[in-house]
Structure 1
Amino acid sequence: MSRLSNMLRRQRFDDYRLYHQSTINQTLHLVSAVIFLGCYALLFKDAALAGIVGWLAMLTRQTGHFFFEPNGYDTVNDVSNDYKEAVKVGYNQTRKIILLLVWGSAPVALYAFPSLFGLFDPPATRLDFVHHVGMLWLAIGVSGGLARMLQLFATRDVTTGLVWVFKVLTDPFHNIALYWNSPLKLLRGELIDTAIADADWGDEEAVEAAHPT
């Protein structure tokens, strides 16, 4: 268990200091985490609505990554952005763009093919259409996670993939604990989290443990 917990801590630490230096991004992740908890609560009550809420949370956090996170040379960790993109365990920007394109094409596909080749009953009302979109978005989200997990199985190892899935599922709770004070930093005019430079989560293998994919 210590090996698994160390790997989880390493993935979380690398994720924090390499990809979440902007306090705006951190704040958006805090908002996203709260929305994701709502998604979790809805999963077994209204799966379609959970799919819509989940993607609202996803778009909130990806806005932080694409528009506010520094993309130049990382002087804090002394690595290039290309390096960070190459070693990212989860979805790097290229993978995210592909996933977002699939997500965005879902309503278009349902509009063009209302039953989606027999997967759904043709919608009788607009609410039915929205319900189908939500279910398809939920399926895309789950499939995206499973696809990356299987890719990690093949390119790294099974343990890395399983730990990453656990990390993703528990990220909302961890993000709230980690970024609860990010809005306060923003109010003080701190656009970059300077605490990252001195952060120490007790794992000397953090950045060095990453492997290009």
Structure 2
Amino acid sequence: MSEWNHYVTMKGTNNGIVVYLDDQCSFDFLLKELENKLVNNQTSGATDITIHSQHRYLSEDQRQTLIQLIGQHSELTVKNIESYVLTRESAYELYEHTTVKTVMKTIRSGQVHEVKGDALVIGDVNPGGAVHASGNIFVLGKLRGIAHAGVEGDENCIVAASYMHPNQIRIASKISRAPDYDVQGSPREFAFINPSTEQIELDQLQHIQKIRPKLLDVFERGL
């Protein structure tokens, strides 16, 4: 069963089976068409599917109605419901997590600068100061305090600084501390989690495109 009709279309993709729902007809008419096709096009064996309502907004009641209808008339199981529609709350959350929050100041000892999204600090982060961000951290100055990028668990985030000499760098749950002995800092470096070693490593900023080629693509960051 590859295609039902103009209003309900089932297609196989790299991510599994997706059922596309027409977004122009009424919801009641869509339910009747979907029920008719489920009854007359039975599948064998349990199969997970994703429903895509395209540009149609589905309320929670409508979502539950679709899930119940499919479960009642088939062995298909709805694992996800997607659309091109964003609620105001979802749009605001996306904005919060994908924009760069800029501050022009020195983060002094005892101060903690926290943002959702990427943090851009135009100034120094002194020893005892800290920057926390759900996204990446960029310091146009000396990073000598603490930087914690990806605080919500994103291991693809980075910490970059004009001059890197931190007390501590954290990315998601990984931690890299400064050595007990005194070392010189380094100009124009960034910290990242190497997936091969699962440890935080440093490299020169000119290599950032090779190591994180999709750094600026927010959709590749799981948002």
Instruction: State the TM bucket, normalised to the shorter chain.
Output: under 0.3
TM-score scaled by length of structure 2: 0.23
Larger radius of gyration: 2
TM-score scaled by length of structure 1: 0.24
1 or 2, which has the higher helix percentage? 1
